[in-house]
Amino acid sequence: MPKTNGLSRRQRFRELIMAPDMLILPGAWDGLSALLIEQAGFDGVYVTGGGIARSSGVPDIGLITMSEQVARIRMICEAVAVPVLADADTGYGNAINLMRAIREMEAAGASGVHIEDQVTPKRCGHYEGKEVVEQREFLQKIEAACDARQDDDFVIIARTDARAVLGLDEAIERGKGSVKAGADVMFVEAPQTVEEIQRIADEIDAPLLLNMVAKGGKTPYVPTADLERMGYNI
């Protein structure tokens, strides 16, 4: 793992997550877009599964395979020196499939991944018609992901899409359960109001990621300074 200021990229990623200033990770889908993000001065890159799907000419409905995703992640990690957070979707199947996905993405150079609780194949987090697995199955997958990593500094982020399917209460419960299961960061996808964004921060005691989509997303735009005050980290 390349070093940044004496730290590995994964150690640097953990340091940035816990820093007072919010870590902003623009989405990249190939080496060139990642380079532009790095050259613009950002401290990290997010490998967006939706971006990879759309850049391949297909909708974000689970059509990209694990091998295709890993190839893009490797390309991006080789193109930049900053930490890279990768979208691992649902892990491409059950807990056993997920364990292989974790090892492949770790070997590709990613500093961390996020794993979601949708059924396989998944849909974009801001599309209608999503379905989620049972909470118990999701928490078992988070435990499996933590067990599968080879480097303890590799960051596991748990993402729940339950807000759209089962409501915010269930999403928060899954968030709390994911932290107990070993997740380093919690990501509740597509809260629909500023009040919901605040409630997530108030009730989940862990580093938090918020995803905002520029056009057509369900989550309202909240300025970075406001998110920092609420308690968000990424």
Which residues does the annotation mark as catalytic? 46, 60, 87, 89, 114, 116, 124, 159, 189, 211
42: nearest Cα among 72, 21, 11: 21
Residues 6+ apart with CB under 8 A from 192: 163, 218, 219, 220
CA atoms within 13 A on the CB side of 189: 26
Does residue 215 come out as left (phi exceeding 0), alpha (psi in the -120 to 50 range) or beta? beta
Distance CA(138)–CA(177), nearest Å, equals 9
List for the chain the helix, strand, coil content (%; round to 5): 45, 15, 40
Residue 17 phi, psi dihedral angles, 5° rounding: -60, -40
Token digits of residue 234: 């990424």
